[in-house]
Structure 1
Amino acid sequence: MGTLKDRLNDDLHTAMKARDELTTATLRMTLAAVRNAEVAGSAARALSDNEVLAVLTKESKKRREAATAFADAGRSEQASKERSEGEIIDRYLPKPLTDAEISELVAEALAAGNFVGKAQLGPAMKAAQAAIAGRAEGGRVAAEVRKQLGI
């Protein structure tokens, strides 16, 4: 099985052959973001699948935020386009965790590190983020960590 980037390229070619303009444009933008991440820094390098997932997560979040902004501004057509692009990107992301799953993983991470109180928020967040591994938004994880630490 190839890498996630290979899958994106293959799906781009399929969308181009099918003349699916929305999917083609979305995958082109996504692959451009991946290439930008590859050349960022002092030397160009190939990204791992986890790093590509991080780029995809960021791109998906951008689309959700843009859709909300357009909807709030009364531009429903543009908001719909952003939501559609986000749905295409979401196909490549792992299934997001439910609140119950996040709560369980955070509880396990906090118990494993014996984290208690406000003073240990930073290390607790680091442990929780490692346990979640990009399967949930940081804000949701942070809220659950704060709740379980009693902050």
Structure 2
Amino acid sequence: MSLIERLKEAQKDAMRAKDKVRLGTIRMALAEVKQKEVDTREAVTESDIIAILTKMVKQRKDAHAQFEAAGRQDLADQEAAEMVVLQEFLPQALTDAELEALISQAMQETGAAGMQDMGKVMAWLKPQVQGRTDMGQLSGKIKAKLG
């Protein structure tokens, strides 16, 4: 079953269960996917949907941190609940060991020797780790290995 089909089925299940938070979050995700289709005038691919969901999770993480810093626990809890729902549809996260192995493989494949090759390594890794790790943390690990 494709990711878009899984989202639509989950939406139906949330409607039947009368789970408002889950239903609202899935509707937001489907709206983002539809907006991407309208903007690009092309059908979205699985990788596009993963990128959209990853972006939405990152937005929720940032909002959660800001709400907690402002003392708005009610809003922070809502962001956390939405984050959990969105993460259900993302691929399994990579472990640190798997990530290190992929970075080493990317460095060998691209022949990376220094910081000037950072872009090559990131370009090689991005399709393989999209939605499975935080790209900021990945960048930091690559810098550590190259530096």
Aligned equivalents of 2:83, 2:146: Cα separation in 1: 33
CA contact (8 A) 1:4 1:52 kept: yes
Deviations 1:34-57 (A, max 9, x none): 11111113xx22111111111111
**2:145 and 2:131 mapped to 1: Cα distance?**
20
Q: Distance in 1 between the 2:42 and 2:22 partners? A: 26
CA deviation string 1:92-112 (max 9, x = no partner): 011111222211100111011
Query: Is the contact made by 1:102 and 1:144 (CA closer than 8 Å) also made in structure 2?
Result: no
The answer to whether 1:119 aligns with 2:128 is no
Contact persistence 1:109–1:127 (CA under 8 A):
yes
Post-superposition offset of 1:130: 3.5
Q: Which has the higher contact order (CA 8 A, sep 6+)?
A: 2
**Equivalent position amino acid for 1:121 in 2:** M
**Matched-pair identity in %:** 33
1 or 2, which has the higher helix percentage? 2
- CA deviations on 1:55-99 (whole Å, 9 max, x unpaired) are 111111111111111001100010001000000000001111122
Choose from 59, 62, 66 the match for 1:65. 62
Confirm or deny: 8 A CA contact 1:53 1:93 kept in the other structure. yes
Letter in 1 for 2:144: K
| Equivalent residue number for residue 55 of structure 1 | 52
**Unmatched runs of 5 consecutive residues or more in structure 1:** none
TM value normalised by structure 2: 0.94
Q: Contact between 1:129 and 1:141, CA under 8 Å: does it hold in 2? A: no
Q: Distance in 2 between matches of 1:131 and 1:9?
A: 25
Of 122, 134, 143, the match for 1:137: 134
SS of match in other structure, 1:136: coil
Aligned residues: 147
- Match of residue 9 from structure 1: 8
Code of the aligned partner of 1:125: M
Q: Where do 5+ consecutive residues of structure 2 fail to align?
A: none
Runs of 4+ in 1 over 4 A off after TM superposition: none
Distance in structure 2 (CA, Å) of the matches to 1:128 and 1:8: 26
Q: Aligned to 1:29, what secondary structure does the other structure show?
A: helix
**1:86 aligns to 2:83 (yes or no):** yes
Q: Distance in 2 between matches of 1:25 and 1:134?
A: 21
